[in-house]
Amino acid sequence: MKAYIFPGQGAQFSGMGKDVFVTGTKAKELFQAADDLLGFSLSKIMFEGTEEELRETKVTQPAIFLHSVVRYLTVSPQDAGLVAGHSLGEFSALVANGTLQFEDGLKLVSQRANAMQKACELKPGTMAAVLGLADEIVEEVCSSIKEEIVVAANYNCPGQLVISGTVEGIHLAAEKLKTAGAKRVLVLQVGGAFHSPLMAPARDDLKKAIENTQFNVPKCPVIQNVNAAASTDTQVIRQSLIDQLTGPVRWTQSVQAMVNAGATEFLECGPGKVLQGLVKKISPNKESYSV
């Protein structure tokens, strides 16, 4: 069984999407529809923008979503048995399995990005990748810090867990994690503390947007970030998307769940090859490649 996987924020690069744009009329129509819906030329920024322009959350998230979905709809055989996405990528996955229409998915991603940007401005935060420590030790260190907000945010693969929180909290955790034996703790160049309680101000905006969006019965299950569980229940899918904003991305557990469900191949749809690399570390005996 094929599992299609979709990347999240951080996979963007200048020139992204050009290769998909030239594949035919359908791809061009989707890029134009995105520009019209958003009210600015997202495609121009994707094709010609600087790395700094592409790092803006309000641009990054729609750009990765657009690139991923167009690739799936115009290039792939569309024969998914399972779908999953890393953070933002979950919205791309829900278009792939028919839960969301393309336009509705893009609107939600844009609203999510704007809400997250506002939350970042209200309370600055950051994230850091912790390498070479067991998840349990990282969780214990985060829990031991009471004076600041620090939580485990992205369970990317064994030995790689991203933490999220206040700037002071992340620096305090970094020192403790190094003492606990971490090989490296790398503060990431991100706009805020994603997948942490600091995103709570964005939750209400996203909740309203999701509640006002049509969700269809999926063609195949989606493995969702917050619980690494398969679902075809639209109400469960809605709630998990809302919870994901302040909850963790359980990618290690999600890949394991897909393997347990019978996935034999993982096809990454979107910019970059980050997820392929993570799959190889989580389940090295499974094939993973780009669409």
Cα separations (Å) of 54 from 25, 51, 150, 286? Answer: 25, 5, 27, 32
Gap between the Cα atoms of 106 and 25, Å rounded = 19
Question: 47-54: which pairs have CB atoms within 8 A and are 24 or more residues apart?
Answer: 47/15, 47/16, 47/17, 47/18, 47/21, 48/14, 48/15, 49/14, 50/14, 51/13, 51/14, 54/12, 54/13, 54/14, 54/16
* Structure-token pair, residue 152: 């485990």
Query: Please, what's the largest Cα pairwise distance for the chain?
Result: 56
Gap between the Cα atoms of 82 and 84, Å rounded = 7
Identified catalytic residue from 195, 196, 240, 288: 195
Cα separations (Å) of 223 from 202, 209, 254? Answer: 23, 21, 6
Told to judge if 67 belongs to the known catalytic residues of this protein, a careful annotator would answer: no
Identified catalytic residue from 87, 254, 283, 288: 87
Cα separations (Å) of 259 from 77, 191, 251? Answer: 21, 33, 12
State whether the Cα torsion 208-213-214-218 is positive or negative: negative
| Ranges assigned E (strand) in the chain | 2-6, 82-85, 125-131, 150-157, 160-166, 184-187, 222-223, 230-231, 265-268, 287-290
- Cβ neighbors of 209 (< 8 A, separation 6 or more) are 107, 108, 111, 112
Which residues are catalytically annotated? Answer: 87, 195
